[in-house]
A and B are shown apart, each in its own frame.
Chain A
């Protein structure tokens, strides 16, 4: 029989997963995986947070729990406690009853729901032509999420200055000034992926001022709260500042990294609206979108996070676990920079300790990246992005030497 799918072309694999695959198949005992963004211990192992293990036991022992459907928008105690994490316990917006949330499948799911809603309801009923701006560079799935939600015009805004290895503030502000009114901007709340370069408080204030004046939509992507500095409140500064500035906005939260719950797909789309009436109508339309996508979200991860956030001792333990992860990353940053300096590797390497969060944009070019992979079995993204969590006290010398050798031999 003729196949209906005879013309379906082979799609190119998602880069970051292909990298992990190639790493798996590499037989070199010295191989190092600096690709996928997941935390690793100093033994190079995944880490299930101690508080998570504890709460899992609580859940298993509780015979009153079952596997019934959650509500369309998710577990209420998860949604509200997750939003509090982003906006702060005493957020005036929460007190004014104009904050709502949709439990989603990870940060991706939260971005997806927000995008779908905006396409339908943001500025008139058809926002397919409304420009969506994502940072240059950005997480590679941002483009696809918004494009698949129907946005035809996804554009970059200047962000990373490759020459000075820092934020291109003038370029960023310039793009904000020249963006068509009502454009949507995807902002990284902290620990920018992939550059690890965040605006300072003053820089964020400038961004907010332009966005307000030019009526641009604020869509925060918050995948690393707690992971950047080790402190939840510090990492939420930008999000909370924008709330004080009166924006109606979305914040896509992920609990994949800060709770280590990657495969349970725990995310939350926090919605800050003008008032509770607008919020109510927004949530009712969100329900319709959820219903045609996944009907209702998975319960396990949300339950786990809700119990943790709503139980004081567990909440404290969680914050501690988060700090453990953030501290190890900071240690690896300091070590790597020190070693490169000691080796007198050409170039400046301050950006390694100035950047924040899981990732570092090393500045290695594609040829150098290829060399690292092929000759040294050190796997990193073609952009030069490395996951600091892939570094351990055992492999950091090898990595530093390899970077040195690569920079010296390959231009």
Chain B
């Protein structure tokens, strides 16, 4: 019977009824529109295509050394060597990731002696860097925080925040944050807007080194915000992608996060190790939910796993293993703190150099904000037309909002950069 079937099938195949069937006119994808290039990552792609030898890439927030080269941290190389010597297997991690990593990740953010960690009332899962952490967080809130659908982002915020939360089914709103007149923090504006946010809404706060503006609240201002947020009964979502990178000091940069927790806010927190450990492509991050108690943390953990499993099952080992080794080995940890400090310092130096060079060019504009702002990014205050000129005439690449990555500035190119900026703003 099987033989007969096979023969008849082979005959069928040989016949002309059978293809190559002309499907040439039909595609499932005829209606698929061309997606626009990513506003941030698209900048690097345009930069790559430019043949001008003086070109500068101030787009993506990836650290560069003073030669404009990617910087692999020495503590990372040492950690890699240590790991290689251990000859570990490649068995799947747990859904929530590497335990050595998640514990250290929480301690880094909250402080070793934090009561939250001691009482076991946080759940920290390993995520696919900051993006993956925000996405898991968004999915979690979308599914379980059903009293409110709104997420309030600072105006402006990282460009990818909006699509992430939207895709997860939340609605996006904004609160005043940046003051274009001062290129600084619009504190009163922020308080005014926050005071009107409906109870139980989610409010996104950048823990330090606000992206894209580089404008952070001062501690006294954070205190007032924390107070107001508590009065409004809002759920705080901290995004901490630059711990260590802002001031050069790990604890200082985590101050706001720790203060809020101290004040009784049960926050959710996203952490990234892309920048502060230079582990960009290894995708190392964490997502933390601070719960009422350990029992609640267990329930939340079980639900986070249910969210993670149908996306990617379990997270990648390599980067988490490197990060865990650094965080858990005293020598390496110390070396890491020094290197983070070094990176932050180079950026601070570049800020000072840029302002000095602008003055040298003869610019009479007030560039104080370049030095006042903190972290990898600087909101120059340049308008889209000026940005376009900078790109077209000088091959200096940045995002349309006038944001530059200070990490892309070197002592070798800061002069040219100042020339360009002065030319389009004089």
Q: Which residues on A are within 8 Å of B, measured CB to CB?
A: 1, 3-14, 17, 36, 38, 45-46, 48, 52, 56-57, 60, 66-72, 104-106, 108-109, 112, 121-125, 141, 144-145, 147-149, 202, 205-206, 212, 217, 244-246, 248, 256, 260-265, 273-275, 278-282, 284-285, 287-288, 291-301
Contact = CB atoms under 8 A, between A and B. Distances in A.
Contacts of A263: 90-93, 314, 316-317
Nearest to B21: A246
Contacts of B84: 56-57, 60
B164 A292 contact: yes
Contact of B283 (A46, A248, A287, A294): A294
Given A274-B24, A278-B32, A299 B281 contact: yes
Given A6-B296, A298-B282, A123 B144 contact: no
Contacts of A278: 27, 29-30, 32
B44 to A, nearest CB: 9
A229 to B, nearest CB: 20
A291 B38 contact: yes
Interface residues of B, number: 84
B291 A282 contact: no
A281 B28 CA distance: 12
B383 interface: no
B224 to A, nearest CB: 20
Contacts of A45: 89
B72 A287 contact: no
Given A298-B316, A301-B318, A17 B94 contact: yes
Nearest to B264: A1
Could you say which of A121, A145, A148, A294 has the most chain B C-beta atoms within 10 Å of its C-beta?
A: A294
Contact of B299 (A8, A17, A280): A8
B279 interface: yes
A57 B163 CA distance: 39
B103 interface: no
B131 A293 contact: yes
B266 A3 contact: yes
A246 B167 contact: no
Contacts of A245: 19, 21
B411 interface: no
Nearest to A1: B264
A274 B310 contact: no
B160 A68 contact: no
26 contacts: A3-B291, A4-B145, A11-B303, A13-B302, A13-B305, A46-B89, A68-B280, A68-B281, A105-B316, A112-B311, A144-B309, A148-B310, A148-B311, A246-B20, A264-B90, A273-B27, A274-B26, A274-B28, A278-B29, A278-B30, A291-B131, A292-B135, A292-B164, A294-B132, A297-B283, A298-B283
A295 B160 contact: yes
A11 B305 contact: yes
Contact of A5 (B76, B92, B132, B144): B144
Contact of B312 (A106, A124, A244, A291): A106
Could you say which of B24, B38, B160 has the most chain A C-beta atoms within 10 Å of its C-beta?
A: B38
Interface of B: 5-6, 9, 13, 19-21, 23-24, 26-35, 38, 41, 60, 62, 70, 72, 76, 80-81, 84, 87, 89-95, 128-132, 135, 144-145, 147, 160, 163-164, 167, 200, 235, 264, 266, 274, 278-283, 289, 291-292, 296, 298-300, 302-303, 305-307, 309-319
Nearest to A246: B23
A291 B90 contact: no
B135 A293 contact: yes
A301 B266 contact: no
Q: Could you tell me the dominant secondary structure of chain A's interface residues?
A: loop
B167 A70 contact: no
A141 B19 CA distance: 35
Contacts of B312: 104-106, 108-109, 112, 265, 294
B300 A8 contact: yes
Given A46-B91, A112-B310, A205-B9, 16 more contacts: A10-B298, A10-B302, A11-B303, A14-B309, A38-B91, A48-B90, A72-B38, A108-B313, A202-B6, A212-B21, A274-B26, A284-B35, A285-B32, A288-B35, A288-B38, A298-B319
Given A60-B84, A202-B6, A264 B167 contact: no
Contact of A141 (B32, B279, B303, B310): B310
B163 A262 contact: no
A284 B34 contact: yes
Contacts of A246: 19-21, 23
B235 A281 contact: no
B89 A48 contact: yes
B27 A274 contact: yes
A273 B29 CA distance: 8
A264 B132 contact: no
Q: Which 3 A-B pairs have the closest CB atoms?
A: A274-B27, A105-B312, A299-B281
Nearest to B20: A246
Contact of A72 (B41, B298, B300): B41
B153 to A, nearest CB: 15
Contacts of A12: 302
A5 B90 contact: no
B270 to A, nearest CB: 13
A7 B305 CA distance: 17
A248 B28 contact: yes
Contacts of A141: 309-310, 313
Contacts of B291: 3, 5
Contacts of A52: 90
Contacts of B87: 48
Nearest to A116: B167
A180 to B, nearest CB: 16
A294 B135 contact: yes
Given A8-B303, A293-B135, A66 B72 contact: yes
Contacts of A244: 19-20
A246 B20 CA distance: 7
Could you say which of A8, A70, A71, A291 has the most chain B C-beta atoms within 10 Å of its C-beta?
A: A8
Contact of A301 (B6, B144, B316): B316
A275 B28 CA distance: 11
Given A5-B289, A147-B310, A293 B132 contact: yes
A205 B296 contact: no
A121 B31 contact: yes
A67 B94 contact: no
A296 to B, nearest CB: 7
Contact of A67 (B93, B278, B303): B278
Contacts of B131: 291-295
Contacts of B60: 69
Contacts of B298: 10
Nearest to B321: A263
Nearest to A145: B310
